[in-house]
Amino acid sequence: MRTVLTIVAPDFDVLQESLPLALEAVAGAGSTIQDIDILGAGAADIFFDHADLAIVRAKAQDALQYAQVDVCVQLAEHRKKRLLIADMDSTIIGCECLDELADFAGVKREVAAITERAMRGELQFEDALRERVAMIAGLPLDDLQRCFDERVKLNPGVRTLVATMAAAGARCVLVSGGFEFFTSRVAHAAGFQAHWGNKLIDDGEALTGRVADPILGRDAKLSTLRAEAAGFGATMADTLAIGDGANDVDMIMAAGLGVAYRAKPVLASQADARLDKTDLTSLLYFQGYGADRFVTG
């Protein structure tokens, strides 16, 4: 069974500098290199005979730890995924929406500190969410739209990632421990076909400081991955999940390819691959898409 190491760099010069290190890592794992395929100006596949994926991954990460590249080691079979499940805050967008709402309420420092601990896995997610939402009670509903307009920006590569996978027949779903108000707008902006999030309760004019039950957290993200896969007729091997925090761990570990994006250590250590240096189009290269097949979103 063929195995592939994908290396993604910001440009061809960095790729050229890094390829010898990647090749050395594969050989150092006792594998025989079979083929090299250039996917784009900064991306390449290295195919090799079947080996212990964990050993090759560890050797590649060690050899390339100081290079401006991201790597992914996986079996070539089922490489192109039929289902993308993506976290929203600090993954698909560049901020934590609740922290930004807290800024409008004048309590960002306090709320952000709780968010950081929750994302590191130091706090139970559901309790931490209720505590933070209570701290923004009374925030006028108009500030939610203002927050979206002024603070929420898609991370680089999102539209191309979603548009390319959708054009190839994949289903792309946004699943967030954040709020439906934002997931609906982000999903529309990025091209996701469906979205899931928590619901803030209001009195028609302002937030009440409560969030509707049941809360979508770590367990619910995993359940959503499984339900979406079953509904789409996909196996777990056909799925790709990406996130950044502790509440993403279970879905990342269950997915056929689980990727950590600028992630907290609790997640990064569990993921199949990490995106620390390049943008979200790297997920396309990881699946074997050449740059000539990218669809601009």
Which residues are known catalytic residues? 87, 89
Calculate the CA 56 to chain-centre distance.
23
In the structure encoding, which two tokens stand for residue 170, read together? Answer: 């994949």
Task: For tokens 């995993």, name the residue.
Answer: 222
Q: What are the tokens at 234?
A: 């996909």
Place of tokens 């979603």: 162
- 145's CB contacts (< 8 A; 6+ apart) are none
For residue 50, give every residue at least 6 positions away whose Cβ sits within 8 Å of its Cβ, in sequence order, or none. Answer: 1, 2, 3, 31, 75
- Phi, psi of 190, rounded to the nearest 5 degrees: -95, -15
Q: Pick the closest to residue 117 from 132, 137, 136 (CA basis).
A: 132
Beta-sheet strands, E only, within 76-156: 83-86
| Torsion 253-240-213-151 (CA) sign | positive
Q: What CA–CA distance (Å, rounded) separates 44 from 171?
A: 25
Can you say how many angstroms the Cα of residue 14 is from the centroid of all Cα atoms in its chain? 24
Continuous segment of H or E residues that includes residue 113:
helix 108-119
Strand residues in 180-249 grouped as ranges (E): 194-198, 200-202, 207-211, 239-243
